[in-house]
Amino acid sequence: MIYIALLFLFIGIELIYFKIADHFNIIDKPNSRSSHTSITLRGGGIIFPFAILIAYILGYVSLSITIAVVLVAIVSFIDDIKPLSQLPRFASHAIAICLVFYDLGLFTQLFWILPVIFILMIGWVNVFNFMDGINGITVLYSFFAIVSFSFIEINKESLPLLITMGLSCCAFGIFNVRKRAKTFAGDVGSISMALFLGYFMMKTILDSGQIGYLLFLSVYGIDSVITIFTRIKKKENILTPHRSHLYQYLANELGYSHLVVSLLYSGIQVSINVILLYLQQIGELSLQIIVPFLLFQILFYLWIRKRVVQKITLQKI
């Protein structure tokens, strides 16, 4: 019963926010780098930090994680309204990640490897934010990642938190998973969700001792890393907005429906996660399996990307 109430609460919060965003003109205007063509309310992803706050009130999540998510959400929301410099954004991310480390006890357990994990987390938060470019992609990918985490036995005690965050995705999805979205997540949504997923990924790996769960987010990871290397090869500034991700090629240059592309990305990730869960269940999720599986994903992605780029090139001739 409480989860039904939470879903309606989240929908209500979204509707109230829409009134506020409309009044203060918090909108996303399309530009040459955008994948959308109409003015849309920005910041609907504010529901994710609200969900964390409610989860804290209900005793589902720790204070340190709550502060971490809310901190990056506040700074990101300000950035959505009036663009900030790199310093306050990086500072909020750094403080939030340190709070995640504190919550997971990493300062006493894995102090020597913290710089590496810190860099990976900073990279993940920004990667996730860059991938938020078409209707439905962020919320569908996040929802299915949360569902995947909930099927891991070690996460049974965290089910109330996962369900709460999943319900916030459902509420946001009602207004975003559409042909013409009413709202976009904005940095406030994508960055707060990225931090939450990064936290839960680390928590799951530490609690289970299974590094293979890194592949639960491999679709985003592979697309982002290869896109970054491709842009570096072209001598482009990787920090500037662009339309070079595979999903952007599919949605923009080839004209596939945003929802079809979003479902394709989340569907492929779900398929990978089901395989990983099955391998873990039969005791075969080892490095000898994980590494070849990851290499296969990379090669498959490169093949698809090459085919798509060739098709785009032919269209321009």
27 three-class SS:
strand
pLDDT band with cut points at 50, 70 and 90 for residue 32: very low
Lowest mean pLDDT among 104-118, 132-146, 221-235: 104-118
- pLDDT at residue 92 is higher than 50: yes
- Report which secondary-structure segment, H or E, holds 183: strand 183-184
Count how many Cα atoms sit within 13 Å of the Cα of residue 214 in the half-sphere of its side chain. 17
Give the pLDDT confidence score for residue 101 in this predicted structure.
Answer: 96
- pLDDT at residue 110 is higher than 80: no
Report which of residues 180 and 124 the model is more confident about: 124
Number of domains in the chain: 1
Report pLDDT digits (tens) over 46-83.
999 999 999 999 999 999 999 999 999 999 999 999 98
Exposed, middle or buried by CB within 10 Å (0-12, 13-18, 19+), for 179?
A: exposed
Give the pLDDT confidence score for residue 55 in this predicted structure.
Answer: 98
Give the pLDDT confidence score for residue 39 in this predicted structure.
Answer: 64
- pLDDT at residue 219 is higher than 90: yes
Instruction: List the domain range (segments joined by +) for residue 289.
Output: 2-316
User: What end-to-end distance do the CA atoms of the chain give, in Å?
Assistant: 59
